[in-house]
Structure 1
Amino acid sequence: MSATVLLGATLGTVSGVLTLCGLSLLCKSCKKGKLGDDTDPEKAKPSILHTLTQFSVQKLTEPIQPQVSLKFPKIYWPKPSVPSPEVINYKDHGAAGDTSAAELDTCNQATGCDEVFSLPRQASADETPCVSEQTGVMTTSNSILYPKLHFSISLHKESGELHINIVEAENISVDSGCEGYISGCVRISKEQKHSQTAVHKLAARVQWGEELVFALPLDGTQGPGGLDGEVALSLHCCDRFSHNSTLGTMRFKLADVSMMLDADCWVDLQPPKQEVTSSAGELLLSLSYLPAANRLGVVVMKARGLLSDKLKDNIDLSVKLTLKHQNTKLKKKQTRRVKHKINPVWNEMMMLELPSELLPKSSIELEVLNLASPGTLLPLGRCTLGIHTSGTGLQHWKQMLDNPRKQIAMWHPLYA
């Protein structure tokens, strides 16, 4: 029995050991199979870092130019076309387009002036002018303040005298320290009679309270209605340099005196007429005012008919612009020079900062200059634009005020 028991115990132990070894081998094989199933699919899937597609990269020797990412705002230039409603009184447009691009390139050297832009010859088709109008932003020509004169007239038939009582004057815009007076002139046929008030220091409002007396060829019954004559009243200014200038004048007929007797008269004094002199040529300008930006745009376009003895030796023309407030110079600019052309074309815009409240008392003066020799500029002619000017200068300025944000073009005669 002992031998049988020992043999059975031995066989049982051996079989248990073999069973344990087999189970351990089976477990290891199962684990390997599971790991193989987990790792193989990962190796088969494409990774983010390792792409399956191959890119072909070509090497270039040319330098890479950076692309502009900023978009600048669109700038609307004045249209130099005659049918466009943006340009008024534009004449001889074809002469500006005759200049070739090659000729313009030869003259494309600026004179160092700031804020000067060269305009294109033809405007693009997609340019659309601003149609919306802003009211109450800018001073229009209806609110322009002219000097006003307050006076009354009385007639003494017994003595044959005409008495003009100068009461006061308003809306006088002059520099501080200036003095002035009122002068009167009665013209009957070829005879003229003059009289004037005392000299007072000028301000926005000046009171005189003086009478101007004029003797008329009247008898006791005759009135001034039968006389063919004219009465003129003028406001004069004297600065500290003893330079006399006329600020405004009003005129009426002697035949109308009977309707003005013993009445308080308020009359706007009109700016003096420009002296009639021989013109030294013409200059084509375009004006526009932007009320929102308080900017005055002046486009110096071209000139014609520049007849002067100063152009015989050398022709090197430019235009000098001066912005004035009353008698004070605020800004100066100058266009580029155009050589060897008696009818030069500039087409340059100059932007000037000018608040709307300063427009009634501001003006611009343009002068055509010729560089006869290095460092020697000879003036050929000038023109002035503003409220207190006359002729085309006053007409152009009024049209600019009545049409904000629009280009208004007009020819101006040049005076030496």
Structure 2
Amino acid sequence: MTVPVVAIAVGGLFGLIAVGTIVFLLWKLCTRRRKQSSSYEKIVGDHKRHSRIESIALFETNNSLKPIPFTVPQHVTPSIGRREGSEDQLCGGLSEPSTAGGKRPSVEVPGAYALGTIDPSLYRISDEDDNYEIPQDHIGRIWFAVEYERESEKLLVTVIKTKNLPCRPFGGPNGCDPFVRIYLMPDERRYLQSKFKKKTCNPKFEESYIFQVSNRNINDRILKFSVFDVDRHKKHNVIGHALYPLRDHDCDSNERLVVWRDLEREVLETTGKQKGELTVSLTYNNHLERITVGIFEGRAFVAEGSTSIDTAQEVAASPSVPSIDSYVKVQLVIQNKTIKSKKTEVVKKTDDPAFNESFTFKLPIASLDTANITVTAMQHQSGYKDKVIGRVTIGSFMFARGKELQHWNEMVSNQREQITYWHTLA
């Protein structure tokens, strides 16, 4: 009996020790977790308290600073875009300086242009040229400037303005919508064109153009200005034309010359005086791609200094005045470039020379539309430079009109046949 009781007592003791140990461990664990949570709350609380203190100090510091006065200059107003009634804005959103007249100072104040820029007022035509007496049946006047750079072979043409253009029959105060085309004759297929001007009979263009012309051909060219009006149906109606022969321009001076011309409804492309006639034949062989030019007879050649055919005939009839020595130069030109040049023998002391010579040139079929034959009658002077009596250009639509164009087209249509025409020298 004693042994079981002792065993029970020992077992109970061990059980109490185990329970106590478990309870102690649980209490220890709870205490540790409580300490950790309290330290986290303390750190968070301290952080919030410090942040609030710093915010209050910063607010007090900012309130203690004095405000800095800031003013915008009167002539510059910060702005984005464009405000109503103001000038155009500069880059960066700043408006231009305003003036009493509401315009830019560079337009109103002389010499207000920046260094290195061009003052357009130096190149404008004075208003005194506008106050001219308008003749009867006047259809307008055009002002233009011409300058020839001999070294670079460039012809600079500036269309300045036109005045007193006619109004449309039913246009009323709207005037017309003009523009200008510039041709370098005899090439009428290609041209340069100005901008359109809306509802004005006195447009100002101030536009410049460049033509490439060789020194050899500059005196043979004619500037043609054609003024058009665009109606409400977008149709181009011709107002008038003006011609300026470049032989009248001093191409050696390299100076800019301002010229005006009254517009004409019809103009003659060959404005030179007649200097005689010449018989020329053309034959084209399409298989060999060769053109043959025949120079036969001349008639009533006018010497240098004579003014008309009648004067030349009087000179020839006078026994005291010697007749002229002459020859003919023939040139093949393709796209304004002289390919080859040949000339006849000199026929002496006669105004009605007979040459009876022919020349052959290589001319591809593909170049027929861009080619021409230039025939020039020359006056031969011993010991002096030969002078031009007159010339005629026979070629395609790009270079010729009238009888000269008809001669060329007939040659192309009747290949390997000799086509002969009398041509007037000019």
TM tier, shorter chain? 0.3 to 0.5
Q: Which has the larger radius of gyration?
A: 2
Whose helix fraction is larger, Structure 1's or Structure 2's? 2
Whose strand fraction is larger, Structure 1's or Structure 2's? 1
Scaled by the length of structure 1, what TM-score is found?
0.40
Relative contact order, higher structure (CA 8 A, sep 6+): 1
